[in-house]
Amino acid sequence: MKANPRNVNTGIYYIDGDVASGQGALAAGCRFIGGYPITPSTEAAEAFAKIAPKAGAVFIQMEDELASIASVIGASCAGVKTMTITSGPGYSLMMETIGFGAMLETPFVILNIQRGGPSTGAPTKTGQADMMQSRWGSHGDYEIIAIAPESPQELFDYTIKAFNLAEKYRCPVMIMADECVGHMTEKVVIPKADEIEIEPRRFYNGPRDKYLPFKPDKDLVPKMVKAGDGYKLYITGHTHDEKGYPILTQNSKVKTQKSTTRRLVDKIKLNADKIIELKEENTDDADVVVVSYGISSRVAVRGIEKAREKGIKVGSLRLVTVWPFPDKKITELAKKVKAFVVPEINYGQVVFDVERCSHGEANVILIPHGGAGVHHPDDILSAIEYASKENKKIEGIIEHKTKLEKLIFEEGYKLKE
C-alpha cells in the first residue's frame, strides 16, 4: 500500500532528526501521538503537533509518560496507528505499560531520543545506554524490535519502517535514536507519497462469529479488529487464550502461560531474518569488523577510513535493527575475522551479544564511552590497530579505553582493600 498524499509533505528540507521523525510518523499514517515533553525529544512532538491537524491526526500532551503510553495503546486498540515520543526518564516510566502493549500485541511505535544517564543525567547530551532497557525493560518475557538511525534522513525513513514493522508483527517498535542524531540538522528528502510503502493494519475480514483475537496466522501474528466494530472484544494483560479470556489456572493440562509467552517471543525470533536490516561494508576480506549502530556508526566511518589508509583490512557491520540481534551474521563473521570492534556510548550493552554470538572464535573489543559526547575517530582507529595486531585469542570482552577515559582514569581507581 502507498502512503496517503494528505500525510506526506513532499520536499527537500534542512531540519533536525527529531523534526524528521515527526514528519516520518505522519507520512507512515500515524493518527495519534500522546506525549510528554522531555529533552532532547521535544522537537519531534512539536513538529507533529504542528503538522498533524491539517492531515486529520491528533497530538495530545498527556499529564505524564505513564498516561502517554497508555493513551497510545488505547488509541491503537481503537484502530489507528500511534506513537509516543520520549527520552531516558520518561522511557523508564513507560516500561510497565510497554509490556502490557507487548502482551496485547498492539502495534505502536516509541521514539526514544537517548540522552546521558542514569537518572536525570545529561539531558541535552547524547547517550546509547538504553539499548538493553529497550529489550528487557518491562517485566516478563516478550520481544520487541529496535531500530537505530544515524541521520535525520534515516529518522524520517526508519520512522516509517518502524510503523510498518509494528503493524506487521503487532509488537512495540522502538526507534532508539540519540541526542546527536535527534538534534543534528541535515538535508532531508521527503519523497512523493507514491514512493512510500505503507504496511496496513492486519484487519480480520472473516466470518464474525469465527473471530478469535489471539489466534495466530502462519507467521505467528494474529489479526486485529477495532473497538466499536461490534466484536465485543475482551482484551486483558492477563495471560490469555486465543479468545482473549484470562487463564490463571496453570497445570499439567493448561499450558496457556507457556504458549502465550512463547509465541510473543517466537513471532519475532522466528521472523528475525525478515526483520533484521544490516549495512555491511568490506567484510569479505576483513581481519577486523567494526560493529556499530546509531551515531557511533557515523563516527566509526572516519576511524575505519584512517585504518584502511594504513593498510589494515577492516570492514564495517552497521546494525540498523539492533533487536532482534543478528546472531547468525555475527557467528558467520566470527569464523572469518580476527576481531570485532564495538564502539558504544555506554559501558557495554550490545557488545554482550556480539561476544555471545562470536562463540570465542574472534576477539571482541569494546570501546566504552560514558556519554555526553561521542567517540573520537582516533579512538576507533586505535582499537582497530590493536585488534589487527593481537594474534592471541582472548577470552571475554576486551575493554579498549578512549583517549579521554585514559586521561581521566590514568591510574585507575587505586582500589584499596
* Contact residues: other proteins, CB under 8 A: 31-32, 34, 53-54, 58, 60, 62-64, 66-68, 70-80, 82, 96-97, 100, 226-238, 245-246
- Please identify, using beta-carbon distances, which residue of 238 and 389 lies nearer to other proteins: 238
- Please identify, using beta-carbon distances, which residue of 80 and 301 lies nearer to other proteins: 80
- Please identify, using beta-carbon distances, which residue of 35 and 303 lies nearer to other proteins: 35
Answer for the pair 145, 174: CB distance below 8 angstroms, yes or no: yes
Distance of closest approach, residue 138 Cβ to other proteins, in angstroms = 10
Distance of closest approach, residue 315 Cβ to other proteins, in angstroms = 45
- Please identify, using beta-carbon distances, which residue of 58 and 272 lies nearer to other proteins: 58
Distance of closest approach, residue 175 Cβ to other proteins, in angstroms = 20
Q: How many residues does the chain have?
A: 417
SS3 assignment, position 263? helix
Distance of closest approach, residue 220 Cβ to other proteins, in angstroms = 23
**Chain centre distance of CA 93:** 17
Give the C-alpha separation, 26 to 81, whole Å: 10
Answer for the pair 138, 174: CB distance below 8 angstroms, yes or no: no
- Please identify, using beta-carbon distances, which residue of 100 and 352 lies nearer to other proteins: 100
- Please identify, using beta-carbon distances, which residue of 78 and 394 lies nearer to other proteins: 78
Order of strands across the sheet that contains 288-292: 278-281, 314-319, 288-292, 339-343, 363-367, 397-399
Give the C-alpha separation, 229 to 183, whole Å: 42
Give the burial class of 25: count Cβ atoms within 10 A of its Cβ; 0-12 exposed, 13-18 middle, 19 or more buried.
buried
The region that residue 372 occupies, defined by phi over 0 for left and psi between -120 and 50 for alpha, beta otherwise, is: left
Distance of closest approach, residue 413 Cβ to other proteins, in angstroms = 41
Distance of closest approach, residue 34 Cβ to other proteins, in angstroms = 6
Distance of closest approach, residue 214 Cβ to other proteins, in angstroms = 14
Render 3-51 in DSSP notation, one character per residue: PPGGG---EEEEEEHHHHHHHHHHHTTEEEEEE---TTTHHHHHHHHHH
- Please identify, using beta-carbon distances, which residue of 5 and 237 lies nearer to other proteins: 237
